[in-house]
Every structure is written in C-alpha cells, then in structure tokens.
Structure 1
C-alpha cells in the first residue's frame, strides 16, 4: 500500500513537470534569446513521460518496485536539477550551483541505467 502512495506522488510530480515543460516552451517561443529554455522544456516533458511510464511498468510488475521507484524519483530530481539550472541561468543570470546541469544530466543517465537493471531484476522486490 505504501508503494501506491509513492506512485501517486510520482504521477503528481510528473504532471507538474509536464506543465512546467509546456510553460517553458511557451516562454521560449515568445521571448528573445531564450535558447536555454528549450532544452529545459524538453528534459521536463520527456522525463515526465518517463516517470509515468516507469510507474506503469512498476505497477504491472515488469520492473522491480525498488528499482522502478529509484529510477522514477531519479528522473524527477535530475530533470529538476537540469532544467532548474538552465532556467536560473536564463532568468537570474547565474547557475543554481556549480555543475548543477551536468549533475542533473549524469543523474538522468544513471536513472535510465537503474530502469534497465530494474527490468532485469526478478519481479519480487
């Protein structure tokens, strides 16, 4: 039952990621010199979908629960880091912290690898 609450949280977070991705795409379309906002938008939109798919695969038992949750939360945190850093650079003129975007990107890669491992793990836990 605890997993159900975590799945619900992930779906909510994916919804916010998707909404933020669309907002950033709209801002980029209407604002000059908004080159950093398009990759931020893309990362949020792509990985919102990845979070939803990971939740669905985990609920169906195709990936392990622990691995699926780790991958999905990794997608959320990593996308926020990556997109947040690009947005901070655009709107505030500085990064979140040194290497925030590369850290987010590396965590995204790691989350995809965790998903691969979770799909090869036994269905149990």
Structure 2
C-alpha cells in the first residue's frame, strides 16, 4: 500500500508527466521551441521519477526528501521557463537555478538512499 507521501508523489508525477506532454505539443505548434521544449524535457524526465518513488512508497525520510526536492524543483524550474515564455520574465529572480539545484539535490538524495539499510 502506498503511503500518504507516496500518493502525493504519484499525483505530482502524473501532473508533471501530463504537463510534459502538453508542453511538447505546445512547443511543436509555436515558432520558438526553446523554452517550452526545455520545460517539456524536464517534466518528462522527472514525472516518471516521481511515479517510481511514489510506487516505492517512500519508506525512508531520505526518499521523502528526494521526492520533495524533485517535485518542488521541477515546479520552480518549469514554472520559471513557462512564465518566461508567456510574459518575458521569470517567476522571481533565481527561480530556475533554485529549481535546478533542487532537482540535482533530489537525485543525490536518491543515490544516498541507495546506501541506506531500509530493513
């Protein structure tokens, strides 16, 4: 059975994955693919990672932190790219780099969790 955190990761992974497909479609229909294509790629890479974490059930604090970093990092990074595309300016100064650091931190947390004994 998936924990509450696992359900959140599953839901967020589904939303992010679906957004990735929508952004890919939008990027293919507009003249400038740069920002929307990059946002799509980030979503399509991290949505499945969140699904996998959610299905795993997030049994350790480190995996819960990893899922949170991946989810929030994706939302910040992609949100900044999408906002930049539609308005010409980002969410707030440093949103994409902060999101990117969160994403890297999430992946590092997954590596760290692989060395923990979860029995």
SS in 1 for 2:3: helix
TM-score normalised by structure 2 residue count: 0.92
- Identify the residue that residue 119 of structure 1 maps to in structure 2: 114
Cα deviation for residue 48 of structure 1 reads 0.6
SS in 2 for 1:98: coil
Cα deviation for residue 73 of structure 1 reads 1.4
Q: How many residues align?
A: 119
Cα deviation for residue 45 of structure 1 reads 1.1
Provide the rounded CA distance (Å) in 1 between the counterparts of 2:6 and 2:115.
21
Say which is worse superposed, 89-98 or 115-124, in terms of deviation. Answer: 115-124
Work out whether 1:54 is the aligned partner of 2:53.
yes
Provide the rounded CA distance (Å) in 2 between the counterparts of 1:28 and 1:55.
28
Cα deviation for residue 34 of structure 1 reads 3.0
Provide the rounded CA distance (Å) in 1 between the counterparts of 2:34 and 2:72.
22
Provide the rounded CA distance (Å) in 2 between the counterparts of 1:106 and 1:8.
24
Q: How does 1:67-78 map to 2 (within 5 A)?
A: 67-78=62-73
Work out whether 1:100 is the aligned partner of 2:95.
yes
Stretches of structure 2 lacking an aligned partner (at least 5 in a row): none
Cα deviation for residue 64 of structure 1 reads 5.1
* CA RMSD, Structure 1 to Structure 2 (Å): 1.7
TM-score normalised by structure 1 residue count: 0.88
Render the CA deviation track for 1:45-66: whole Å, top value 9, x for unaligned. 1101111122334x3xxx7511
Stretches of structure 1 lacking an aligned partner (at least 5 in a row): none
- Identify the residue that residue 23 of structure 1 maps to in structure 2: 22
Render the CA deviation track for 1:66-97: whole Å, top value 9, x for unaligned. 11111011111001111110000001111111
